[in-house]
Amino acid sequence: MIIRAEHLVKTYLLGGQEVRALDDLSLEIEAGEMVAIRGPSGSGKSTLMNILGCLDRADSGRYFLAEQDVSDMSNNALAEIRNRRIGFVFQNFNLLPRMTALENVELPLHYAARRDAVQRAKEALLTVGLGDRMHHEPNQLSGGQRQRVAVARALVNDPSILLTDEPTGSLDSRTGEEILALFKHLNAQGRTILVVTHDSNVAAHCQREVYLHDGRVADPADPAVAAGQVAHDQETPWVAQPASH
């Protein structure tokens, strides 16, 4: 079991009011799975991702990563685990604009003082099919290419887990399919991949889905849960993104 979360609770104060982002949430993910974490806005997806990625801690409950309890680790210990075990991919790429693709991918290795940073960054870019774009800056790349650079950066430390937050949200449907195909390829190589999304079409590309509702794991077929999803979709209709590739 590479991820095991037990009875996680996370509460925030918003406008003086207590909001429970995670409410006694438990889940397990086996090594080598590709799993969608799906739910509407406010369901707790990003909060859960931050905890699973060792970016934040739950207020209560336990989190075991590769059978190691990381719940009470120091910030330095959590940072070391993140750097060694986990890669992150975000919706908006988070690339530095005045750096080339190669330089962006090298960054995590410089933080780790790796002497082979350039070679490993080149190999990561080759893995995602950008061998001919290494020296291009982000503004010289399409949206799909920028996301591939972000994936290469996430892979450069050879993590066992890839956490992705709405990774196709800024892409058109065709380019989004290409990125999901890339994730499937990386998963077939043995990496555990979590895809945080509100989109059932994206979730369908994964081996299974964990659906969140009001901070808990829920059954999307439950009438009350489904009604909440319908209401959310009506309030925030999906708008197609402009084409990029």
| Among 133, 130, 135, 194, CA closest to 159 | 194
pLDDT tens-place string over residues 205-217: 999 999 999 999 9
Domain limits of the chain? 30-55+83-235
One-letter amino acid at 87 equals G
User: How large is the average pLDDT for residues 108-117?
Assistant: 77
The H or E element containing residue 218 is: strand 216-218
Distance of CA 70 to the CA centre of its chain: 19
| pLDDT confidence tier of residue 243, bands split at 50, 70 and 90 | very low
Domain 30-55+83-235 in this protein, CATH class:
alpha beta
pLDDT tens-place string over residues 18-45: 999 999 999 999 999 999 999 998 899 9
Q: Which residue's entry shows tokens 């918003």?
A: 14
When the pLDDT of each residue in the chain is averaged and rounded to a whole number, the result is 89
What pTM value is reported for the model?
Answer: 0.85
| pLDDT confidence tier of residue 84, bands split at 50, 70 and 90 | confident
pLDDT for residue 159 = 93
